[in-house]
Amino acid sequence: MNRIILFSFVLLLIPFSNSFGATQTELGDDIFIFVQSTIRNSDGVLVAYLESSKFTDLNFSGLKTFLNFEATRGNDPIITIDGDNYQVIRRVQSQSFDSEGLVASTILSDSVDGKNTILARFAHDGYSVVSGDTLESMWTFVRIIS
């Protein structure tokens, strides 16, 4: 009896699996995005590690502008996969916390016309932080180039 109920429950969840607008990025898309977030306490001990290539609030036009600018700042490698050339742009964001709280998403944003604009958001269950904790998010972007 329990197996039938569980199976029925799983079937009911399938139609809702992408109802929150999450987009899985894939290598070969115009832009593939991968983020790794690590949270460490004040002693440097790992508290949480999260990673994803699935995002909500993807702003592709904003991301293209952002990556065009970022490509001018560094010496980002170009790799060849199956005859196609890809540029790999990797950037790190760091944040220290001075109070307790709950972080429920990892956000990449940019200032566009003086206004803070979300470019990509990795929504997750969240993690608790306390004063002295640090967050480091490594964003990796892979885009095809001509």
Q: How far apart are CA 81 and CA 86, in angstroms?
A: 8
Show Cβ contacts of residue 12 under 8 Å, excluding neighbours closer than 6 positions. none
Please list the pLDDT of the chain residue by residue as tens digits (146 residues). Answer: 444 444 433 333 333 334 456 787 777 678 899 999 999 999 999 999 999 988 888 888 899 999 999 999 878 999 998 898 999 999 999 999 999 988 878 888 888 888 998 899 888 878 889 999 999 999 999 999 87
Structure tokens at 69: 């600018």
- Give me 91's structure tokens: 């950037």
What global pTM score does this model have?
0.77
* Domain boundaries, given as residue ranges, for the chain: 20-145
In sequence order, what are the beta bridge partners of 50?
Answer: 37
**Type of residue at 71:** A
